[in-house]
Amino acid sequence: MILLVALTTATLVPYDQQPATASCAAPHLAFTDDVVLLRGTTVEIDGTGFANGCDDVGSCTATLGCTSCDNGPEPTPMRDITLSLRQDGRTWPLDTADARATHDHFGRVTWAVQIPTDAARGRATLAPDQGQPVKVRIR
């Protein structure tokens, strides 16, 4: 009987929940280092995570029989994101695009870029305004 009372009390007593830790991915290009790009060609470069805000940064409270969560403001897709090519102190702005707002592709962006013909063969960096740059090779 004591065990039953203890278990019932433990399930009905509200408890403090620890705040969630955000785990939304930072904006990044959708490929790894060492991609080879050919001068003068047109290619599509994809990126993900291009959103302002993160819907997992809220907190929840529990009361007797109820749980209430506040996730804060809704995330919004980033706009006017420029992708640039950097090499040996030069920068070529390649294209500017908006991240998508659709449910299945939220925060994804696609740039249609032409690789500059005056870029030198060798290492270079693709860099979005926001997010991580990626090393590439130019041929």
**What six digits make up the tokens of 101?**
């707002």
| Section 36-42 average pLDDT | 97
pLDDT of 131 strictly over 70: yes
Nearest to 74 by CA among 101, 92, 97: 101
Q: Greater confidence, 70 or 58? A: 70
Q: Identify whether the C-beta of residue 76 lies closer than 8 Å to the C-beta of residue 41.
A: no
User: What domains lie within the chain, and their CATH numbers?
Assistant: 26-55+76-138 (2.60.40.10)
User: DSSP secondary structure string, 43-76?
Assistant: EEEEEE--EES-TT--EEEEETTEEEEE--SPPE
| Percent of the chain residues past pLDDT 70, beyond the cut | 77
Arithmetic mean of pLDDT, 53-73: 70
For the entire predicted model, the pTM comes to: 0.72
**Average pLDDT of 46-65?**
78
The predicted structure's pLDDT at residue 136: 96
